[in-house]
Structure 1
């Protein structure tokens, strides 16, 4: 079985005739000769700039003011093109009090309708929930190229739950870490075989009173996994280990969790019935 030769020829025609432009950094540490060597090896031309994607710069360096200066220029041009009459006090509010616009603070407009507001989006909070979707991907899909790159750079020896912003973070990493607290407080660990869930560091218990173990754990067990609490012969919780390590309240909470040794441990978003993260559920 295979593809028809004509189909293969068409695909190869697309691959061999397309032209690429690669921009190999914009750092002073990268000499022009080295960029030329890379471009020659790849058989591509160096791009003069990174361009834009969805109206935003594809690359953001340290100078944020220079990168987003075009936004300020566009706003000034747009305002300058408006009719001055529309911006005048009389044009806005009218001559009489009854015809004027009743101004409201933005935070009042963001209040839900059932509480007397207009349910406008709180833009900073809404942007944070969108960043949270990217952050959660580092937990649920750690094998993706982006997740592996960020892990190698910022949290090599830990998980994303314990990640720190670090020194000299990139603009993207700083933005993602702005949603770190929100994401980590909204995720829970679904225990399967317990091999990848930390006893004292992951939120894997029912939320009453907290998804974390309340018993003070010894330093020696800081990296211990939940699999050590399971009797591998009966495939159930080992009551002797539980009673030896935990307070009675934690023992009761652990005992209510079903053990699924045939499945791996996974993360889920507890604010959604399906366990799936959405901007809507996070914004609420």
Structure 2
């Protein structure tokens, strides 16, 4: 089932076996324990074939991938695969899996230059889809992003081209099965649910803060295994520590990120804040703040950096202990910067240990796009540092 598309005769035989098992034996009628519509979902074969197609995409250098790409995908991407003359039954089977990937895969935005706004699946909804429009234009996602002074969504462009509904991972057999078992008309008519992943992330974030601040649960296995600090601790000799935080306005969805870099003597090297644009969840806001903090570390030429903040969910995601599709595109940029910085680590500290960055995010100048200071901090920040 994982390599070839089963024939109609084979699937009918499997159906007969299921019917005899659940509804009767030896041609005798029995009590119908399970409704036929509950088990008559013949798409698991397609989900397994999609895993083989995903293997071609995720492991392009293995012999299996090289063979099929040389024979059927010359100069094309996997999702562009089509039927051809004299094709093998194996390739014909894989095409069924590719169709599943087309329904369930979406682009990670990145710079957005190769993603078509109204034709490619890039919106983080379930199932993924392009933006809705009545316009006939060849717009790319990069046209919705501004790079001055740093990269973020352009609110004017979003309002001009995207409707309100549109503004608001790795393949597994389970995910492919969920997509494949629905008819195309269901996928089209099903209302998008873009807030589900964000809501789950926000709940986990809230629980994380609750557990880290509550004395009654401070000795739980989750907390003890993570070794969270309850207050700010100086980095070791030769290292710098960058604390950061995000101020997220639930009414306007605006994000402001802040960071502060200190050495082993508690001396602040650099601190600043920036308006980061729009976000649809607190987790995305925290991730945006981490990205701008890392960008400033890179600009400043610093190395041997410890990035520390009070979002346990994000720390575990960065350290590959958790996965979250809602921040995958930002994580790609974070990983790229991480590879450029030498000896970079990401640690978790309880809320009390991140007070400096927290205060900068909420009390820094709100009318500036960007502020960065290498001199002594302002009077309103000094007490927190001391």
Into which bin does the TM-score normalised by the smaller protein fall? Answer: 0.3 to 0.5
Bigger share in strand: 2
TM-score normalised over the length of structure 2: 0.32
Larger Rg: 1
